[in-house]
Amino acid sequence: MADPGSPDLSTPPLQLDAATAALVGELARKSPLAWISYGGHHHPVWHVWDGDAIAVVCGGQEQPLPAVEEQEHVEVRLRSKATRHLLVTITARVDAVAAGSAQWEALVPALIAGRLNVHDRATAAERWAASSRVLRLVPVGVIAAPGALPQDSHRARPVATPATTDDRQPYVVHRRQAAAPPLSG
């Protein structure tokens, strides 16, 4: 049985119309996080919007996306930044950006600016060229959009574990008393 959250790329997605393309661009510009699904796995990724595609840095010291460059297409879920509701699910073509190319030189400054808490802003481009991959995820089709969104929550079942919690409450310093003591006696 297939994973209910994995992309069903066996059926062709709907064509990306102008209104949905504009929605994808707006969501990708405003929301710093997207969910990428392929091979039965789901990955949250930070990204920047690059005109007509979602740009992602992966590998090395950046976010792990194992074997994503081997995928022809991936599923991308974009949520509203304000409400966190799923608004659109698209199919995107995976295009690798070669280090040192004109596209690389245009894209990397935007990725560096969009990267939170980068510790080596001055050398991030060189580090990414040596140990990471820069990818463009170009939207090519729509899986779900407003008016045709799935009703399930896409939540994963928690992993079974033998871990338990202790029955007694932990000790808390300076806990408020149930009733205030009298001030004078």
pTM > 0.85: yes or no: no
**Under CATH, domain 14-144 is a member of which superfamily?**
Electron Transport, Fmn-binding Protein; Chain A (2.30.110.10)
Q: Is residue 72 pLDDT above 70, yes or no? A: yes
**Percentage of the chain surpassing pLDDT 70?**
84
- Sorted by where each begins, the domain ranges of the chain are 14-144
What was the pLDDT predicted at 12? 57
Torsion angle of the four alpha carbons 96, 59, 40, 36, in this order, in degrees rounded to the nearest 10: -60
What was the pLDDT predicted at 153? 66
Work out the pLDDT band at 76, boundaries 50, 70, 90.
Answer: very high
**Percentage of the chain surpassing pLDDT 90?**
44
- DSSP annotation string for 95-154: EEE-TTSHHHHHHHHHHHHH-TT-S-TTTHHHHHHHH-EEEEEEEEEEEE-TTS--SS--
Work out the pLDDT band at 166, boundaries 50, 70, 90.
Answer: low
The Cα–Cα gap between 64 and 124 comes to 16
What was the pLDDT predicted at 96? 94
Q: Is residue 126 pLDDT above 60, yes or no? A: yes
Q: Is residue 8 pLDDT above 60, yes or no? A: no
Q: Is the dihedral of CA 43, 127, 67, 15 positive or negative?
A: positive
The Cα–Cα gap between 146 and 184 comes to 65
* Angle at CA of residue 22, ends 20 and 26, nearest 5°: 115
Q: Is residue 4 pLDDT above 50, yes or no? A: no
